[in-house]
Structure 1
Amino acid sequence: MNRDPTLDPDLLHTYVDGWRRHDVEAVRGTLAGDCEVVETNGLVYRGSDRVGEWMRNWLAAGGHIADWRITDSGAAGDLLVAEWQRICRWQGEEIAVQGATVCRPLGGRISYLREYGGRAAP
């Protein structure tokens, strides 16, 4: 059962769209100030300021989201979930990843987000 009346089922789509557009402030706008974001590689970023710093540094070092499509999404109680396919470039290599995200919004912002993923088969 959803106990958060501000639960926006499009919140994950907005987060992904910000990454796809390389828009740091749009991504930060989806996050609670004290959020926790766990990347597919297990790295943890705490706080929207830290997430913004990580994103700016990644983009400045040549990181590029070529495509990120949510293929299915929904809500389960207080959680938003999505399956996705992402293609990014990092250090000259194009990387295709299939994954899923689980997030817990609170007050209309993402308070916890965890991504699970692995390289897509060629």
Structure 2
Amino acid sequence: MNATTASALIHRYIEGWKTADRATILETLDSDCVIIESYGPIYRGKEMVDRWITSWLGPGNTVDRWDVTSFSMTEDVCFFEWIFECTFDGKPGGFEGASIARFKHDKILFLREYATTAPLYEWAE
């Protein structure tokens, strides 16, 4: 997969979350996909991802911002950094992070998130 196609696929997946569009999210995924969230849950297969979407996008839960700030691609893997903000259970939250993705037949096969766990700051002695 080339970088342009991979980037478009990742952005379509993210846009699906931002607009709460289950069909858009699922259409980007291979049937045997594996998604690993930064805090531990693993979702295997589109059926499990569909259940997760239903659970996550419950009443009042929204993805308020998910901006990709960098994107790089090797032969078969892409990695990208992002800023994420949401409202979950009525509470705003967010963090910066990065993801690694692998593809199969122009779909996302594997997606793993990593999160920044503390505010970033400039180090000074």
* TM score, norm. by length of structure 1: 0.88
- Unaligned ranges ≥5, structure 1: none
In structure 2, the CA distance between the partners of 1:34 and 1:115, relative to structure 1 (3 Å rule), is same
- Provide the identity percentage: 31
CA distance in 2, matches of 1:120, 1:94: 16
Paired residue for 1:84? 82
Gaps of 5+ in 2: 121-125
Which residue does 1:11 correspond to in 2? Answer: 9
Contact 1:78 1:104 in 2 (8 A): yes
Superposed structure 1 runs of 4+ greater than 6 Å apart: none
Counting only pairs closer than 5 Å after superposition, residues 16-31 of structure 1 correspond to structure 2 as 16-31=14-29
1:69 equivalent in structure 2: 67
Q: Deviations over 1:8-34 (max 9, x none)?
A: 222111111111111111000000001
Aligned length: 119
TM-score (norm 2): 0.86
Structure of greater relative contact order (alpha carbons < 8 Å, 6+ residues apart): 1
What secondary structure does 1:77 align onto?
coil
**Aligned alpha-carbon RMSD (Å):** 2.0
Q: Which is worse superposed, 100-109 or 59-68?
A: 59-68
